[in-house]
Chain A
Amino acid sequence: MSLFRIFINQLEEDDQEMATSKKVITRGEWEKKLNAVKLRKEDMNTLVMNFLVTEGFVEAADKFQRESGTKPEIDLATITDRMAVKKAVQNGNVEDAIEKVNDLNPEILDTNPELFFHLQQQRLIELIRQGKTEEALEFAQEELAPRGEENHAFLQELEKTVALLVFEDASNCPVKDLLDISHRLKTASEVNAAILTSQSHEKDPKLPSLLKMLIWAQNQLDEKAVYPHINDLSTGQLEDPSD
């Protein structure tokens, strides 16, 4: 037998060995285990509340508190403020947003030079979008150029932004993405995250992480066992193992 053949045979043997050495758990056994899990309703409510609060759905969080008795983990009033800032950025009112952030907590922008630069950059973009070329240039020189001098990455961003002015039809130039509404949303997200962090709150809701953990846990368990999976998170249907 050629060495190659011996090698292939060995792999096949290993494969079979691996397949049979995994523990097989039947659907019935698995469902029994599922039913034995003790989940507290309060914990699931807390998970949902955490989602509503982090996403900034104030009214929903307030109603949920009334309907379920779950306490929000941060003061709902702070959510309203945070959402006002986010909305302002999403609507292109960056100056207003900056003012609101400083009202909320002046340290946020002080300790977050990158965020502050991005907000100023967004302001510049809005000025350009409105066709206020002179004002834009003045603003760029006074507020943004000094930041650019301090930081190379900022300088590059600044140059990209100013490039918008050079093109007749800015909506068709290489840097047109800056004018896209998604850039506003990106900046809005950044501000949202910074405010949450300043309030010692995690910037992401826990729920998506748990869903990822489910997929990860199934992948991990696949190494050692054959058992019913949930392959479609939306339906939560248990699917029997394929073989």
Chain B
Amino acid sequence: MTSLPLTPSSDNGHRNGNDETSGAVNRGDPILDFLDKIRLSAGAAARGEAMDENEGEEESPTELNTTNSAGGFLIVSPDKLSVKYTNTNLHSYDVGVAQANRPAPFKSLTYYFEIFVKDAGLKGKVAIGFTKEGFVMRRQPGWEVDSCGYHGDDGHIYRGKGTGEAFGPTYTTGDTVGAGINYASQEFFFTKNGALVGKIPKDIKGHLFPTVGVHSQNEEVSVNFGKKKFVFDVNGYETSARNKQQMAIEKISIPPNIGYELVKTYLLHYGYEETLDAFNLATETTVPPIVIAQENVMDEDDSSYDLHQRNTLRKLVRNGDIDAAMANLRDWYPQIVQDDKSVVCFLLHCQKFIELVRVGKLAEGVKFGRLELAKFVGLTEFQDIIEDCFALLVYSKPEESPVGYFLDDSQRELVADAVNAAILSTNPNKKDVRHLHSHLEILLRQLTVCCLERRSLNGDQGETFRLHHVLNNNSTRR
């Protein structure tokens, strides 16, 4: 008898078995998506987070960079959050400039920071703005190409040359001035003491560092990168920007009753028969009755194919009654289960194992594992998942373990969906491989890709669409 490996494999997020294909599994087969979904859960569990939150943590500026600041003209405080001009000359190449330690992160709607003018010194030549890496650190932000700055002495905005344009009020000792980037509108915006001063188009590409400049004796400025509450309500600003966008979106017209259509085809596609019956009854008895265009529902995907059988199988799987599910499949769709090493068989056998562990029948689980699961261990496509699954045996409280996701309801749903997809694929009327995705899913994917692509063409700046966020935050897209 083969001995079962019991240690969980380390990094499941990235093993896709692309190199080797086992005989039973065709790499182009979309049903493999279900295996990948399990891997996503594994990866997320390892990171301790909900799935698909992984935009890749972008780091934010936290303090001033002391290594490249204009030494000799300013000193940076030990906490790296204040600067003071030490020189007495006022030559235009003697500016004391400091940049933040990191550039502004891209993947949100805005970035914002503030300065507080502790002392406007002799001439109040304070500036706030954004510059790029390699900026000439002895010039005010805005005086050089690829930089911008809002200057306190004249209230002008400088956008890459030595002369500025009238922009806003001057600012001096005691004022809090903020500078921000709006990635959606591709603009810089500036604030003074909590009020918006103005905005200009952002025509600089690439990473931008929050920057502060001081240029006369005794000028002293402190910086806030978010550790303290901002004076300007930047969250309110973001919300109103989002609301404006949302209002523009709401004005778009869509076919009437399309929501009902999509829900109906969703229910049909996944075989939620009882829900569908209740839904149909409800739409027929509302006042006025909601008419769902029949020609759209009886589409070429023929979503109502074998609805009752799919519903029966779904119920069995969701109840953990895998033996009955397998029996029905052998009866009704032998072609799905004739290859015992297919993805569907794998998922079902795995699920049976999981159900045994769930009720504590570990000995029986081991026995079953040897009988039906051991054969998957050598196969690249399944190995990582099966090893993690076996790991359930090791824990006294498997549901709290790193592999506890196998015991979640979502795992049962996943297996039910895989069986559903397999049955749909037996439909002789099937024209193409769309049996994995319902209409609703197709539309959501298109929406996601459009937003991602747009952001990518925007220099990867700004928010994108994440369904999970939309569902959990009211009317925001992240």
Contacts and interface: CB of A to CB of B under 8 A. Distances in A.
Interface in A199-243: 202, 205-218, 220-221, 224-225, 227, 230, 233-236, 238
Contact of B445 (A34, A52, A209): A34
Contacts of B60: none
B410 interface: yes
A234 B282 contact: no
A207 B262 contact: yes
A44 B258 CA distance: 16
A238 B446 CA distance: 9
B252 A215 contact: yes
A233 B254 contact: yes
B195 to A, nearest CB: 30
Contacts of A235: 296, 299, 439
A66 B311 CA distance: 12
A40 B450 contact: no
Nearest to A34: B445
Contacts of B453: 25, 33, 221, 225, 227
A41 B437 CA distance: 11
A214 B446 contact: yes
B452 interface: yes
Interface size class of B (residues with CB under 8 A): 35 or more
B405 interface: no
Contacts of A220: 450, 454
A57 B282 contact: yes
B450 A209 contact: no
Q: Which of A25, A205, A208 has the most CB of B within 10 A?
A: A208
Q: Which of A66, A91, A212, A214 has the most CB of B within 10 A?
A: A214
Q: Which of B299, B410, B454 has the most CB of A within 10 A?
A: B454
A121 interface: no
Nearest to A38: B52
Interface string A11-39: 00000000000010100001001110111
Given A52-B263, A69-B409, A233-B443, A202 B454 contact: no
A212 B52 contact: no
Interface size class of A (residues with CB under 8 A): 35 or more
Given A34-B446, A217-B450, A43 B439 contact: no
B305 interface: no
B255 A212 contact: no
A85 to B, nearest CB: 13
B442 A90 contact: no
B414 interface: yes
A69 B410 CA distance: 9
A50 B471 contact: yes
Contact of A212 (B33, B252, B296): B252
Interface string A61-103: 0111011110000000000000000010011000000000000
A55 B262 CA distance: 14
Given A41-B410, A207-B263, A214-B450, A23 B274 contact: no
Contact of B471 (A46, A60, A68, A211): A46
A209 B475 contact: yes
A60 B275 contact: yes
B327 interface: no
Interface in B230-281: 246, 248-250, 252, 254-255, 258-259, 261-263, 266-267, 270, 272-275, 277-279, 281
Interface in B316-356: 318
B279 A57 contact: yes
B474 A23 contact: no
B38 interface: no
B275 A37 contact: no
B457 A23 contact: yes
B249 A209 contact: yes
Given A213-B465, A225-B457, A205 B250 contact: no
A212 B80 CA distance: 47
A185 interface: yes
A48 interface: yes
Contact of A67 (B282, B314, B410, B439): B314
Contacts of B40: 38
Interface string A49-61: 0111001010110
Contact of A63 (B252, B262, B278): B278
Contacts of A214: 443, 446-447, 450
A155 interface: no
Contacts of B281: 59
A55 B290 CA distance: 12
B468 A40 contact: yes
B470 interface: yes
A48 to B, nearest CB: 6
Contact of B474 (A67, A181, A202): A202
B122 interface: no
Contacts of B417: 41
Interface in B207-227: none
A90 B287 CA distance: 7
Q: Which of B254, B409, B442, B449 has the most CB of A within 10 A?
A: B449
Given A64-B275, A210-B470, 7 more contacts: A41-B413, A57-B278, A208-B259, A209-B475, A217-B465, A224-B454, A235-B439
9 contacts: A34-B445, A57-B282, A62-B278, A185-B287, A209-B475, A210-B447, A210-B467, A225-B457, A233-B258
